[in-house]
Structure formats: C-alpha cells, structure tokens
Amino acid sequence: MDLNVELERIKFHNFYRRTFQQAILLTKMQNFKISGFRQHVFDGIVLELYLMWIRKEGKAVQAVKHNTYTPARGTRRTFSDIENGTEFCIRDISVIEDKAVIDWI
C-alpha cells in the first residue's frame, strides 16, 4: 500500500476520521501519550486498525510505503514539512527481492 498515492491516502484519512475515538481508547488503554513525539504511536495504532479492516475485506497488505520527514541531528524543525525520506513497513518479507549492504560514507 503506497500512502503517497492520493486515492490510498484519502481512503486511509477517511478511515482515520471514522475510527478516531476507538484509536484514542486503545491508546489510553496502553498508557501511550497522544501528542508530541508520541504521535507516531497513535498513528501506528490507527494504521494497524486500518490494515485489520482491509484484511476483513479480503485484501492483504504486504508492505506500507509513505514519504516522511526526519529532522537531521542537531537541527530543529521550524517551518518545513518537505519530506526527506521514505518510510517502509514490511509486513511480508517475501516482497523483498534483493538484499544488499550499502556503504553511504
């Protein structure tokens, strides 16, 4: 599932709005915080609920992809929401076709 594709993102956001209260309840049950740097925990819970809903519809998601922003070490995020990376969540390792170690230095 590529959340950079507009239709996929719209479907997810619609689900997010419909299940917001349920996700808050699950988050509180786990004693997670819902604001600040813990927002990724809440988003992860909603994403898992969405993937469970998709599975009930008979569809399988092998991986999730979305562009993301990660602040560089020592810098503070001030005004930019421009993505500087791509986040992958591999749910089925059979989708990995090639493995390599890349030396970036």
CA distance 79 to 92: 36
For the whole model, what pTM was predicted? 0.66
Q: How confident is the model at residue 47 (pLDDT cuts 50, 70, 90)?
A: confident
pLDDT at 68 over 90: no
CA distance 100 to 96: 11
Q: What is the mean pLDDT of residues 68-97?
A: 75
Q: Which value, in Å, is the radius of gyration of the alpha carbons in the chain?
A: 16
Q: How confident is the model at residue 75 (pLDDT cuts 50, 70, 90)?
A: low
Q: 51-56 long-range contacts, Cβ below 8 Å, gap at least 24?
A: 51/91, 53/15, 54/1
So where are the chain's domains? 6-95
Q: How confident is the model at residue 7 (pLDDT cuts 50, 70, 90)?
A: very high
Report pLDDT for 11. Answer: 93
Q: What is the mean pLDDT of residues 66-92?
A: 74
